[in-house]
Structure 1
């Protein structure tokens, strides 16, 4: 059954990439432009449906989860993507549809900004909750955020990013805990060495690819540069989180964290 689900996800990802790439090739290659008919209305409508309906459904099938809000966001994203993939002269008759995607994204951005305002408003009580807790920061911070915003995915993502930047830039003067109820998980492994090697590889790749792509596609080179810088920050934060959060045992349970991405609580009552 697990193999079947993985196969479905792989097929959905393949079809998703096929839909996006075929629509891009259709409008941005000599072969595609030569195959376009005189009346482009049907072709443009098909591309819009591909990007705003078919591609979101395939993305949800790949992720194996579905929600109405997520689907609406993906539809709006597909409509915005259509503005970049389909040449503007072909979209003259469909401007209202294109602006619909921008409008939906605008409403969602306003909604997320309202959630951000709620987060800023609740920062003081969250910090008080963290200071009063005896748990490591990775666990106390997540618990405090979950208590205030139990079902707000956007806020949880934002708080995870805040935690990453905190560990990457704000913990260099902190020392790992040496309490008797803690135990390190990395000192007899090469995990941190491996992550440092990955950081070096990303730096070398960034310098080489950015120089190579800068003359051909400035936008792509800048996007790749930003993603690589973000990856380096993540690995630095992950190393610091691993160092500063050893396995901890207290009267209630076991707290295990392996960097930023992996952690679990095991209550003794369970």
Structure 2
């Protein structure tokens, strides 16, 4: 954890130093007029140096290298604000190079999306024919999805949006699955859904007032903010419905843990070492949380887990937009804790 803090401190310090030094050299009269070629040096800082900092401190070993291009474009945007126009105009060609790169990247992503759309009918057909041991949309659609598409970040992002639109727009006319001995809810004794409803209410009120305020300043910015707010609204609606429709489930082969549309973990029963009441601290350090799948729903106050499930080997948990991590434990809080504890204990002892 100390190493992580130091990394962010060093990144913030170097980034501030680069931006502020470039800003001051054009603003301090005591330094005199900037020398010939200074604008080119500043462009190098914003388009090369800063993206390299982002790569080494943030992206490396965690995210795809393709995120460098948006950082370079953002760096050029900052350069436009910092470098005087009369000096920057001599290097206007840099803007077109970056735009050409972004256009090429966009066309590549568009090609991937078109490939995905072309396979949607086959995926839907497989979904309708699937006989998954779990009846919920998320698991059946994921099973059909993987039959027709190779794993990729673009595919995972698209699938996350499909889930969001399904639960936020389509699932309302469907009743949650009738609970049986395999299914255990987590939300009925928590304030999770109430909290989401309050956030939706605040978001709608904020969107209306803020939209008119932004529109008087910049119609384009107002439209962008409105689109983001609508997307966030759909996200909260989907979270409510996914929580209601996707309880924790125990089958003859797996333990299925899904927390809204945000995260999911499928654990083979033979990988479960034990389940025991949680007796750890209420607050878990960031280092410890890296190896824990937290299936406790959000609430007005963070609730302490009731159970901790330990695994023999690390198991890959899936998160929204294709993010993944290996976990060795899961923390749970349920509406019927003793019933769940007895059922899972019986399964892993068989």
TM-score over 0.5 (shorter chain): yes
Is 2:99 aligned against 1:98?
no
Mark the CA change 1:78 to 1:155 in structure 2 (over 3 Å): closer, same or farther.
farther
What secondary structure, in the 3-state scheme, does the structure 2 residue paired with 1:256 have? strand
Asked if the contact 2:23/2:83 (under 8 Å) is kept, the reply is no
Asked if the contact 2:247/2:258 (under 8 Å) is kept, the reply is yes
Asked if the contact 2:127/2:144 (under 8 Å) is kept, the reply is yes
5+ unaligned residues in a row in structure 2: which ranges? 272-350
Is 2:135 aligned against 1:140?
no
Mark the CA change 1:5 to 1:243 in structure 2 (over 3 Å): closer, same or farther.
same
Asked if the contact 1:255/1:266 (under 8 Å) is kept, the reply is yes
Residues 175-214 of structure 1, C-alpha deviation per residue, up to 9 Å, x if partnerless?
A: 1111412121101100010111111222232233334443
Provide the TM-score with structure 2 as the length reference: 0.65
CA apart distance, 1:85: 6.5
Number of aligned residue pairs: 265
Mark the CA change 1:268 to 1:78 in structure 2 (over 3 Å): closer, same or farther.
same
1 CA distance for matches of 2:254 and 2:89? 63
Aligned mate of 1:129, from 113, 119, 126: 126
5+ unaligned residues in a row in structure 1: which ranges? none
Mark the CA change 1:133 to 1:71 in structure 2 (over 3 Å): closer, same or farther.
farther
What secondary structure, in the 3-state scheme, does the structure 2 residue paired with 1:215 have? helix
1 CA distance for matches of 2:145 and 2:70? 24
2 CA distance for matches of 1:14 and 1:130? 51
Greater CA drift, 134-143 or 253-262? 134-143
Mark the CA change 1:3 to 1:129 in structure 2 (over 3 Å): closer, same or farther.
farther
Structure showing the higher strand proportion among its residues: 2
Mark the CA change 1:94 to 1:264 in structure 2 (over 3 Å): closer, same or farther.
same
Match of 2:42 in 1: 47
Match of 1:174 in 2: 174
Asked if the contact 2:239/2:261 (under 8 Å) is kept, the reply is yes
Mark the CA change 1:14 to 1:258 in structure 2 (over 3 Å): closer, same or farther.
farther
Asked if the contact 1:77/1:105 (under 8 Å) is kept, the reply is no
CA apart distance, 1:98: 1.6
Match of 2:202 in 1: 201
Greater CA drift, 126-135 or 244-253? 126-135
1 CA distance for matches of 2:159 and 2:270? 29
Asked if the contact 1:239/1:259 (under 8 Å) is kept, the reply is yes
CA apart distance, 1:34: 6.3
CA apart distance, 1:260: 0.6
Match of 2:321 in 1: none
What secondary structure, in the 3-state scheme, does the structure 1 residue paired with 2:187 have? coil
Structure showing the higher helix proportion among its residues: 1
Asked if the contact 1:253/1:267 (under 8 Å) is kept, the reply is yes
Asked if the contact 2:69/2:102 (under 8 Å) is kept, the reply is no
2 CA distance for matches of 1:23 and 1:120? 48
Provide the TM-score with structure 1 as the length reference: 0.81
What secondary structure, in the 3-state scheme, does the structure 1 residue paired with 2:178 have? coil
Aligned mate of 2:52, from 38, 54, 57: 57
Q: Which structure 2 residues correspond to residues 1-270 of structure 1 after superposition, within 5 A?
A: 2-9=1-8, 11-12=10-11, 16=15, 18=16, 22=20, 32=27, 38-39=33-34, 41-60=36-55, 61-63=57-59, 65=62, 67-76=64-73, 78-79=75-76, 82=79, 89-131=86-128, 132-134=130-132, 135=134, 136-180=136-180, 181-270=182-271
Mark the CA change 1:263 to 1:37 in structure 2 (over 3 Å): closer, same or farther.
farther
1 CA distance for matches of 2:204 and 2:21? 33
Asked if the contact 2:196/2:236 (under 8 Å) is kept, the reply is yes
